[in-house]
Structure 1
Amino acid sequence: MTEALRERAAQLWHAWRSLRREELSWFLLMGVFYGLVDASSIFYVMDNARWPSALANQMLTPLLVALVILFTWLPASRSALESPWRVARLVIAVLIGAVLAKLLYDQLMPMLGWPSIADLARERKGEMPHQPIRWLNFIGECLSICVTASLSVAWYEMAMRRRRTRPRLEALLREQSAMQRDAVAARLAALQAQVEPQFLFDTLVDIERAYERADIAAPEQMERLIRHLRVALPRLRERGVTLESEAALLDSYLAVVAGRQRGALPLSTEWSAWLAPRPVPPMLLLPLAQLMLRDAARLPTQARLSAQEASGGGLRLRLSFDRGGLCGEETALRALGERLERLDRAPGAPPPRLQCRSNADDTEFTLELPA
């Protein structure tokens, strides 16, 4: 029994020692606020010489109540946030604090001899001193203290819960954002898995037939395919994609496509050297090229990829071919635009934009990526 009391006393002492400056300031501010509620009544009795004592009574009484409730509230506030009994503990703590504050007030004020503003007002009117029923007055005062203090404690508790919840909410939002990025990466990987096998199978069939015909271009076609695989396969494991690596993948793909039709489709690049390691979203340039070349009656003879920094730190990419009418179907272009909108970007940043311009001589895609 003695050991349990010591443990309980140690817990109380630890709770009181954990008082934070913010909590003390809040309860003192609460006391000052309730003291000022009726403080204006002092102007009615300022002709009485004892008005400073009445004003001191009016201001110090709520401060006394606030401090007593603070020390009964602290142990309850240190209980577990998820505890189903936390609210009950807080209510009981406030009720106990109200009773203790009233008992302390009834003992302290007669010793100080400070009148209340109501006492001076009755004296000014010539009325007899008020003699309420003691037990009824005690219950009424305790309930009044308990109600006002409960409102203040409830407001502070909700503010603290909101403050504690905010970091967890931000962590959940960051986790959700990371999951969305992973989902986009997974969709891109799935897209790559859907496109590449068929493309590779068709290319291998063409190379096999070329070898069967003893075509002198067969070894060169095989070399192009091997180069494309050396560029593409490591990307299945890597997360980071740069402008330079994306251009290398596109160049190797165009070489394989042109080789299957016994042609050449070189890719020329143009950007500042410091833009080469710039991160870009994966699997965007290659689908653009596939979209442009899918329904082409004749392959272009020249491809060009340029990049420059846009306003706000973004990146503007232009992919063009020297052949008109390669914008492809509107539905496919819209699907690429929707994929761009799902890419992760900074809060407040504009969404990426994809535009296609085509005339009789060339076709150009413009891709604007925010910072």
Structure 2
Amino acid sequence: MTFTEEFTQALRHQRVLMKRRPDRWQVRLAVYMTWLLGFGIFFAVVSGLQTGRLGSTPWWLDDLPGHMVVSLCITVCFFLGYRGFERLAPQPWLDTIMGWRDWRSGLFFSALSIGCSLTGLLIGLAAVDALWGSGELGRALGKPGFWTEFFLVSAVITLIIGLRYRARWKQEQMQARVTEAQLKLLQGQIEPHFLFNTLANVQSLIDFDPERAKQMLERFTDYLRASLGQLRGDSTTLAQEFAMLEAYLALMQLRMGERLRVELSLPPELASVALPPLLAQPLVENAIHHGLEPQIAGGTVAVSARRVDGRLWIEVADDGQGLDGPKRRSGNGVALDNIRARLTARFGPGALLELLPRDGGGTLARIQIPLQ
């Protein structure tokens, strides 16, 4: 992913409340620096046009640095306000707020933004007074026009945020319908390479090891029965998802033998949780093909589900060659993008898919879904 793509992704993440930011700190710093410079220069230019000092020496020495100080204070207040709320608020609160699709969402973000702006503005004016001795804070607070202008700007910001979120909701609804349509198409197909390779393996074993060929056909039938049952619906349960994974992994164990070890962990209280079908299989497939098969000794793939802070975590871990290892085939990124699109369409931006280095080596893929 290029820096521009990371920067764009970080900008999108700024509209989402989340405990842990997936973006690199350098990219997040670039986002905040863009805000700081953009707002500082914009208001300095507006002030210079109003006073007629734009481009003059006093503007360069006093006005521009002063507006940059104020913009810095506002940016810091935004960072502390939003990150503080994300850190301190329970995860169910964040999921509830991000699940709003009406006036409450616009009102919440408008109120929080206006509060951060006002706090940063007052601190910034006080800092300008301390640095330049200009008395800006006292003059601003004593001018009725200052408050009129501030609340007018706040009203405009509230209107813009409301319209932006309304447009975003409509776009998300349209994207959700498109994604669901694509999902139905994709669910009606099973990867031809997987089918052909399995049948070719069965054919090659018939003459030399008919008992093993019979076992592979039985496992293959179990897998088809479990997966096709999920493909007929829009939703499944964790118990059905794990049953399908068990059949798939049993089939892969026949292919890889002792090189593949499997661990499945599903707490009984989570068995009935509903989710889109075939979410975890692409992650298990990637773990085997990219992580374990390239290793002579193979390895272990572990699939688990657990409840963490009111969210469902589905984790696929392997002790293979890790994220930095060479990829054996293309399509990994497409599969991950498809999972992310399906999660967003079904659960909104609060649902995440993360790829992380596993402690001790290998890869950890983690799906996070808000639990209603």
Q: TM-score, normalised by structure 1?
A: 0.45
Structure (1 or 2) with the larger CA radius of gyration: 1
Q: TM-score, normalised by structure 2?
A: 0.45
Where relative contact order (Cα < 8 A, 6+ residues apart) is larger, the structure is 2
